[in-house]
Amino acid sequence: MSSFFEKKRNIAILGSTGSIGTQALEVIAEQQEHFEVSLLTARRNADLLIQQAIAFKPNTVVITEESLYDKVFDALDPHGIKVYAGNNALNSVVQMDEIDIVLTALVGYSGVIPTIKAIEAKKHIALANKETLVVAGEIITRLAEENGVSILPVDSEHSAIFQCLVGEEYNPIERIILTASGGPFRGKKAEELAHVTKAQALKHPNWDMGAKVTIDSASLMNKGLEVIEAKWLFDLHTDQIDVVVHPQSIVHSMVEFEDSSIKAQLGLPDMRVPIQYALGFPKRMKNKFPRFNFMDYPNLTFEQPDTKTFRNLQLAYAAIEKGGNMPCILNAANEIAVQAFLEDRIGFLNMSDLIEKCMQSGEFIAQPSLEDLINTDKVIRNLASELI
């Protein structure tokens, strides 16, 4: 075993069958001397969960869709792997003593409560679920500080910022610059987007992601959620967070300091890099990932985001400026809007209209408790569903 760590780090992966979860397991497979899998969880993909569990031999797995419990239990019990079902089980097992790091790769709001439970059990968090900080950023960051827990960002943009800040503890940030690919519809105007299909929206030019994140990227909501996440991760004001469109996705994000110097983190678009960095922090581990060649990208370009056409980014800025439960309202409305678009029930541009209506109609709470946020999420989902 390498001298990097005193012992192997025991990893829990929440959402192991999704895009981030499967890539995390690729990282762990290559770095077996450093990492061990303690817990795997999935919502409905029982077949892949079973395959992963047999390959990585975790102590425990959770399938949150309770009707699939028997299938998973029958497959894994002979291997001595504990099997549980349901969200309550998930919230409990993230607190297991043996776990060192919880990688939260769940989709959307579903990541909030398990992340809180893990923090309360003093588990370090590798955060790939940006909605957790969007919905409950103030509560999450306060809890992490109280429990001495690190939140290590996995999003490529926030990982880039995090990497740029290593060694800069005494140098205040003047601003950060989050890069956005622009998605599949970069440069298109509203009239061109009126009739785009989900198949077109799901064709991201650079990244291989799950459906929800890919649609968010196409609408620029993904970047809006990242603005809110960055505020809480790096303790910034919104006027310190800029967004630029960078179609090549090589510069993952930048930090500007008070002396006008800018640090950037570059590399090929490969989520395994920020996943490995978060799981292994503060060490960088040698790997066999593809290397970047400048000659393959002789032109790196940057442009302003079109917030008139892609209104979601501006709505996200408005939500975090308002504060309170408004980002929670934004997120709940967006999750319903994206699902409706994926089900061909609303058009691409209608997603922004629906989110804005919910932000205008939802009850604003300036200093929400966790219970307030849970209730806000339920109420706004119902409201959004009625408005479709």
The Cα–Cα gap between 201 and 181 comes to 13
The Cα–Cα gap between 104 and 127 comes to 5
Q: Tell me if 348 sits within 8 A of 193, measured CB to CB.
A: yes
Q: Tell me if 320 sits within 8 A of 238, measured CB to CB.
A: yes
The Cα–Cα gap between 26 and 20 comes to 10
Q: Is the pLDDT of residue 205 over 80?
A: no
The Cα–Cα gap between 222 and 315 comes to 12
Per-residue model confidence (pLDDT) at position 5:
58
Per-residue model confidence (pLDDT) at position 206:
72
Question: What average pLDDT does range 347-374 have in this prediction?
Answer: 97
pLDDT, tens digit (0-9, with 9 covering 90-100), for 82-113: 999 999 999 999 999 999 999 999 988 889 99
Element of type H or E holding 71: helix 69-76
Per-residue model confidence (pLDDT) at position 3:
40
DSSP conformation letters of 324-388: TTHHHHHHHHHHHHHHHHHTTSS-TTHHHHHHHHHHHHSPP-SS--HHHHHHHHHHHHHHHHHH-
Q: Is the pLDDT of residue 1 over 50?
A: no
Least confident of 21-25, 203-207, 362-366: 203-207
pLDDT, tens digit (0-9, with 9 covering 90-100), for 302-312: 999 999 999 99
Q: Round the average pLDDT of the chain to a whole number and report it.
A: 95
C-alpha to C-alpha distances, 15 to 40, 43, 129, 225, 378, nearest whole angstrom: 7, 7, 10, 19, 22
